[in-house]
Structure 1
Amino acid sequence: MGKYLVLFLLLMGLVGCEPTEPVAPTVSVLTEAKTDDADQAFEKVTPDRQLIFPDDHGEHPTFKTEWWYLTANLTDDNGNEYGLQWTQFRIATSKSDNPGWGSPQIYMAHAVITTENSNQSAERFARGGIGQAGMTNSPYRIWLDNWVWEAEGDNPFPGKLHFADEAMAAELNITNQGELILHGDDGYSQKHPAEPRASYYYSAPFLSVDGKLTLNGESFKVSGTAWYDREWSSSMLANDQQGWDWFSIRLDDGSALMAAQIRAKDNKAYTFGSRSWPNGKVIPLKNGEIYLTPLSYSTTSGKTLPMKWRVDIPSQEIRLSVGVLRKEQWLPFTFPYWEGPISVTGSHQGRGFMELTGY
C-alpha cells in the first residue's frame, strides 16, 4: 500500500492550494495547478492550435494531464453482452524533464470487464522514465506493465490491446471503420461558459473489435464496436465545477453521438458534444443544444447516482431513453467514478457507455 499512498499524495499535490470545501479527487486533478514559477507552468490549451496526425496520437508531456481511453460493447457467440474499458492516464507533477526515477510523469491505468451480473476491475500505477510505463509514436505502443496497446505503424489502428489481471484478461484486435472526429472547434473543446477552460479532444468512434475475453478462467470469443477517446489539458475544469456526465453512443442509423455536461455549484450545467459519421462529417453540439435529464436514481456503493436518463437534442431530432447494463459500476479507484455499458431506445436504437464523475 505504501507506493499507492505516495503516488496518491503526489497526484494530490497537483491541485495546489487546499480546497475550501470537499472536492472529488477526479475533479481536483483536472483543475489548474497553481505555481509561482513561470518556468514550471504547464502549457495552455488555446483555440489557435491545429491538431496534427500522427504526431498528436503521441504524448504531450508539457500538459498536466492526458488519457488514452477505449470503451467497447461486445457480444459472445451465445449473445451474452460485455462491456470493456481500458484507460491509460499520464499525470505530470511538474514541467521538468528529469530522467529515470526523477521523472515527473506518473502513469495510471484502469481495466474493467462488465457482464450483466458481474464486474472485474483493476488499477495500476507506474512512474515514467524507468521503462515500466510509457508511450512511443513509431511504432505506436502504449504500455504499463503487461497492459499494452500496440500497432505496427505510427497510427493506433489497426492495433492490438491486451491486458491481464488476476481473474480477467482481454486480447482484442481493433480496426477503424471511419475518420477521426475532432470535437468542439477542430479539436479545441471548451468546458466552461466564461472561463478559458478547455482540452484538446478527438475520438475514433467507429471501431470494430474482435478477440477473446477471459473471466474466472473461462474464455469467450467476442466481437462488437468500440470508441476511442484522446484528450489532454492543463486546466480542464474551473473551481466552480463539480464533475461531469458523459455519454458515447453508436446509433442504429450509422452515426455516433457524444453528449456531455459539466455540472456546476450553481446547478447550471455546461453542455457540449457532437454527432458524427464514418465519412468524417461532424456536427458540433454547443452549450444549450443538449438536454440531459435524470429520470431515476439508484444507490450503489454508498452513492446515489442517476441510472436512467433522457437525452434530448432537438436540432438533431434525437430523443433517447438511456438504460444501463449493470447499476453496480462505481469503480473504487484512486480517482473513483461510475462507468459502464448502456443501451438507448427512442428516436434511435443503440449501445454505448456512460461515465459519471464528481458524485
Structure 2
Amino acid sequence: MDTAGTVTLNGTASTVAGTSWFDHEWSTSALGPKAVGWDWFSLQLDDEREIMFFQMRRADGTLEPVSGGTLVAADGSTRRLAAADVQLSVADTWRSPATGAAYPSAWRVVIPSAQLDLRVQPWLAQQEMLVSFAYWEGAVQVSGTSAGQAINGNGYVELTGYAGSLQGQF
C-alpha cells in the first residue's frame, strides 16, 4: 500500500514516501504434526502481477499438502497455485551469527504456467528476528524473465523452523 509521512531522527524530520507492507497472520493451524516450519513468499512484479506462495516443510524434506499460493494478475483476477505449479530451489544460504541457523538466502522461483523464471534474493542477509523463537523475515528483490522478457520486482519472505522446529511454539 502507498505510504507517506515523516520520520524524525536525532531531532531532524524528513518527509518519506514509499510502499508499506501489512501482514496479519490469523493462525499457524496449517502447521501439521510432521511440519517443522514454513517458507512464505509475497512478490510484487513490475508488470503489476503479484505472487503469494508458501510451503510447509516437514523434517523429512517433503511438503505438507496445504502448501500452495495465489497468482494475482494485473487486472486483479486470481489463480490458485498448487505446490506442483511452482518450482522453488534454494540458490544460496546465510548463517546467523546469533543462532547458527542456516537460512536460505536466494531462490529460483519458476512458474511454467505463467512463463515466469525469477531469482529472489534479500536486500540484506541479516534480517533474522529474535523473539520467543528465531526466524528470518525480510525484504527481497526480484529479477528474472516473464515470457522471455526481463522483469523485476520486490517482495517479502518469511522463513521459520530453520533455528529449530516450530512444533509446540503456538
Relative to total residues, which structure has the larger strand share, 1 or 2?
2
Max radius of gyration: which structure? 1
Q: Given the two structures, how large is their TM-score scaled by the length of structure 2?
A: 0.80
Identity of aligned residues (%): 37
Q: Which whole-Å CA distance do the structure 2 matches of 1:239 and 1:251 have between them? A: 34
Map residues 179-328 of structure 1 onto 2, 5 A cutoff. Answer: 207-215=1-9, 218-233=12-27, 235-270=29-64, 271-277=67-73, 279-300=75-96, 301=98, 302-328=100-126
Q: Which residue of 1 aligns with 2:166?
A: none
Amino acid at match of 1:320: L
Q: Which whole-Å CA distance do the structure 2 matches of 1:280 and 1:242 have between them? A: 33
Give the drift of 1:209.
Answer: 1.5
- CA deviation vs aligned residue, 1:193-238 (integer Å, no higher than 9, x gap): xxxxxxxxxxxxxx21122334565543222223433442473211
2:138 equivalent to 1:340 = yes
Q: Which whole-Å CA distance do the structure 1 matches of 2:49 and 2:114 have between them? A: 11
Give the drift of 1:266.
Answer: 2.0
Q: 1:213 to 1:339 in 2, by over 3 A?
A: farther
Q: Which residue of 2 aligns with 1:196?
A: none
- CA deviation vs aligned residue, 1:331-354 (integer Å, no higher than 9, x gap): 111132111111011112001111
Using CA pairs below 8 Å that are at least 6 residues apart, which structure has the higher relative contact order?
2
- CA deviation vs aligned residue, 1:317-344 (integer Å, no higher than 9, x gap): 1111111111111111113211111101
Q: Secondary structure at the match of 1:315?
A: helix
- CA deviation vs aligned residue, 1:291-339 (integer Å, no higher than 9, x gap): 2111111212222111111111111111111111111111111132111
Q: Which whole-Å CA distance do the structure 1 matches of 2:157 and 2:33 have between them? A: 24
Unaligned stretches of 5+ residues in structure 2: 146-150, 163-170
Amino acid at match of 2:121: G
- CA deviation vs aligned residue, 1:179-202 (integer Å, no higher than 9, x gap): xxxxxxxxxxxxxxxxxxxxxxxx
How many residues matched? 153
Map residues 1-359 of structure 1 onto 2, 5 A cutoff. Answer: 207-215=1-9, 218-233=12-27, 235-270=29-64, 271-277=67-73, 279-300=75-96, 301=98, 302-347=100-145, 348-359=151-162
Q: Which whole-Å CA distance do the structure 2 matches of 1:316 and 1:224 have between them? A: 28
Unaligned stretches of 5+ residues in structure 1: 1-206
